[in-house]
Amino acid sequence: MKIPITKALVRKTSKILFLFLFFSSSCSISLTKDDYLNEYELFVLEIKQNWKSYSNNDWNRMEVKNEKFFNDDYKKFAGVLKPNELIRVYRFNFVYKFYKGDITIKALLAGEYNKVFKGITLELNEIIRELKLAMNDFENEKNSVIIEKLLE
């Protein structure tokens, strides 16, 4: 038995296909790097605004969320995070831990968290070193152009 293809059938089929694709794609939307950074930042802002009112149960839920951001999601994007984005992730985790009470001023002053910042500091030093090298290259290029013009 052959089913006649009509415009109405095509429209209905198209609508069903569209709805299927829409719902199936909305269920499998993956987190992008920018989404990850934005959501982690919003999470930290929420912590900063509400930390005083959190119960132990609230902190337990927040701890699960932070672990997901700082460990699970971080692993997905570690290879594509720029140095400034990496610093943001570490800052978000640090701020969370600070508001939770896991980090104290006394411990900071005693240097207990220096390991955490050592990697960031090394990365920043490398960035500064690269900038200095680039500036030297630009200066050398500028000088050689000046010398060539003088020798013409």
Whether 100 maps to a domain, the answer reads yes
State how many domains the chain has. 1
Report yes or no on 2 lying in a domain. Answer: no
Q: Is residue 25, in this structure, part of any structural domain at all? A: no
**Cα gap 113→116, rounded to integer Å:** 5
Both tokens of residue 87?
A: 């610093």
Domain assignment of residue 92, yes or no: yes
Look at residue 151 in the predicted model and tell me its pLDDT: 75
Q: Is residue 20 part of a domain?
A: no
Q: Average per-residue pLDDT in the chain?
A: 79
Assess if residue 7 is contained within a domain.
no
The domain containing residue 54 runs over which residues? 31-151
> Which regions in the chain score pLDDT beneath 50?
9, 24-28
